């Protein structure tokens, strides 16, 4: 027996060999009394090796371990019962513990659950949720306690009735749903504890189906502010199929970019459809607009009366053949000088009547052969002088009638057939 004074109240044979006792004073050596097999399961506290360098009331690890080593030798109060222990209190109950406190519940078997209260922190140990909690002192934010929780839960249903407000402050806020690796359904090392919490990827993983629904009187979302904008925002989405629908009575979309704006789209094919019951108005105000299109073929179909207004110089360049077909009346009004230069052959055919009215001077310069074929009557009316100069002129007419108030022809040689 241990040396020192003690008082022992013992019932060694309770209900067929079940012992119960209460010992006050010096402690008996661990292993000599009933229930010591249970008592020896608790030999340490989590705070014995907790990192707390620099925290208030700092105590070195060696001193913490030395004090815990006296746990079963200091004596005081020791009781055990092979039966049940039931305590009832009609009024208040107060327990004040100067040291640490640890509860271990074996749940009528070997399933450990409980909590550890040491060093001013409470840590829960449970098989209900895989995972654990580590608490340590860090020098971030000028020195603070850091809590790292690793929790693996099953099905969770949460209902809030009332106002909910969330505030997040700190250096990092990270959220992950699922994993970009192949799901692992059979993992051997998936045990999580308080002293060495495993990473989330060490548990069986399976990517979920996500369904989100929101009903509200109004929804407002703000990211950053004019006073303090977010330095960088990056949004990346990878998907096999994407669908997006918006139903609204009215929409307003505004984008303000102080610098350059770039938009890129790569696709096998693109189909865009817009249906507007009323008026569709598109306004662009820019110092310079550049448009570049590369395609095997471009087909443009417009069913509408078209009005096109252009203010400024216009340059058009076509490398290849150009065909314009007008079914109906085409009117072109040029107020100013019209200069047409054809380098190469030019073939012009008019099927039907043609009326050309020129008020003012007209200069036509053709470098190369010119073929003009008219099937039908042609009326040319000019108010003003007309001057034709040529080194060689040949005209072929089946029937020609010319009416002129005044006509002067100056040529080195005229041949009429």
| pLDDT one-digit tens code per residue, 376-386 | 666 666 666 66
The residue with greater pLDDT, 372 or 72, is 72
For residue 159, is pLDDT > 60? yes
Q: How far apart are CA 219 and CA 215, in angstroms?
A: 9
Tokens 């208040």 correspond to: 92
How far, CA to CA in Å, does 8 sit from each of 24, 34, 79, 309, 387? 6, 13, 9, 110, 141
Q: Nearest 5°: phi and psi at 66?
A: -65, -40
Sign of torsion, CA 120 126 129 132?
positive
| pLDDT one-digit tens code per residue, 266-312 | 999 999 999 888 898 889 888 888 888 888 999 999 988 888 888 88
Q: How far apart are CA 416 and CA 2, in angstroms?
A: 149
* pLDDT (mean) for 83-101: 94
| pLDDT one-digit tens code per residue, 9-64 | 999 887 777 899 999 999 999 998 999 999 999 999 999 999 989 898 899 999 99
Rounded to 10 degrees, the C-alpha dihedral 14/16/18/19 comes to 50
Q: CA-based Rg of the chain, rounded to a whole angstrom?
A: 48
> pLDDT exceeding 70 applies to what percent of the chain?
75
Burial of 68 (0-12, 13-18, 19+ CB in 10 A): middle
Whether the CB-CB separation of 146 and 135 falls below 8 Å is answered with yes
* pLDDT (mean) for 88-113: 92
For residue 123, is pLDDT > 70? yes
Burial of 289 (0-12, 13-18, 19+ CB in 10 A): exposed
| pLDDT one-digit tens code per residue, 187-237 | 444 444 444 444 444 555 678 889 999 999 999 999 999 999 999 999 999
Whether the CB-CB separation of 99 and 38 falls below 8 Å is answered with no
What pTM value is reported for the model? 0.60
**87 confidence band (pLDDT: 50, 70, 90):** very high
Q: How far apart are CA 340 and CA 236, in angstroms?
A: 53
For residue 8, is pLDDT > 50? yes
Q: How far apart are CA 174 and CA 153, in angstroms?
A: 18
Q: Nearest 5°: phi and psi at 64?
A: -65, -45
For residue 125, is pLDDT > 70? yes
Neighbouring residues of 251: CB distance < 8 A, sequence distance ≥ 6:
none
Q: How far apart are CA 150 and CA 131, in angstroms?
A: 5
Please choose, from the candidates 413, 368, 378, 371, the residue with its C-alpha nearest in 3D space to the C-alpha of residue 399. Answer: 378
For residue 249, is pLDDT > 60? yes
| pLDDT one-digit tens code per residue, 307-345 | 888 888 888 888 888 888 888 888 888 777 777 777 777
């Amino acid at each position: 027996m241990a040396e020192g004074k003690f008082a022992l109240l013992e019932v060694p044979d309770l209900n067929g060999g079940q012992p119960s006792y209460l010992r006050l004073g010096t402690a008996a050596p661990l292993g000599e009394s009933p229930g010591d097999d249970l008592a020896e399961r608790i030999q340490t506290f989590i705070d014995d090796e907790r990192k707390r360098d620099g925290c208030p009331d700092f105590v070195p690890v060696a001193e913490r371990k030395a004090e815990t080593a006296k746990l079963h030798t200091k004596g005081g109060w020791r009781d055990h019962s092979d039966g049940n222990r039931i305590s009832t209190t009609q009024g208040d109950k107060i327990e004040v513990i100067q040291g640490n406190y640890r509860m271990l519940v074996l749940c009528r078997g070997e399933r450990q659950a409980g909590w550890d209260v040491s060093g001013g922190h409470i840590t829960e140990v449970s098989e209900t949720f895989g995972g654990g909690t580590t608490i340590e002192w860090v020098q971030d934010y000028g020195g603070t306690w850091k809590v790292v929780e690793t929790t693996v839960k099953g099905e969770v249903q949460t209902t809030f009735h009332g106002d909910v407000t969330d505030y997040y402050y700190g250096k990092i806020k990270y959220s992950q749903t699922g994993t970009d690796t192949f799901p692992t359904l059979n993992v051997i090392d998936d045990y999580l504890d308080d002293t060495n919490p495993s990473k989330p990827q060490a548990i069986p993983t399976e990517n979920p189906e996500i369904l989100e629904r929101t009903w509200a009187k109004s929804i407002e979302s703000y990211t950053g502010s004019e006073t303090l904008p977010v330095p960088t925002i990056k949004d990346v989405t990878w998907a096999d199929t994407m669908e997006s629908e918006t139903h609204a009575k009215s929409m307003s979309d505004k984008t303000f970019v102080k610098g350059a704006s770039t938009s890129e789209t790569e696709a096998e094919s693109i189909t865009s459809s817009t249906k507007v019951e009323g008026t569709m108005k598109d306004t662009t105000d820019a110092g310079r607009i550049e448009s570049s299109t590369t395609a095997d073929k471009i087909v443009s179909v417009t069913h509408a009366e078209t009005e096109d207004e252009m203010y400024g110089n216009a340059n058009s360049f076509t490398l290849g053949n150009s065909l314009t077909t007008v079914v109906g009346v085409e009117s072109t009004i040029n107020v100013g000088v019209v200069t047409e230069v054809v380098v190469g052959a030019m073939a012009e055919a008019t099927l039907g009547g043609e009326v050309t009215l020129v008020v003012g001077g007209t200069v036509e310069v053709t470098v190369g052969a010119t073929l003009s074929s008219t099937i039908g009557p042609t009326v040319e009316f000019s108010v003003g002088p007309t001057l034709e100069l040529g080194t060689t002129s040949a005209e072929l007419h089946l029937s020609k009638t010319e009416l002129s108030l005044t006509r002067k022809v100056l040529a080195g040689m005229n041949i009429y057939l």
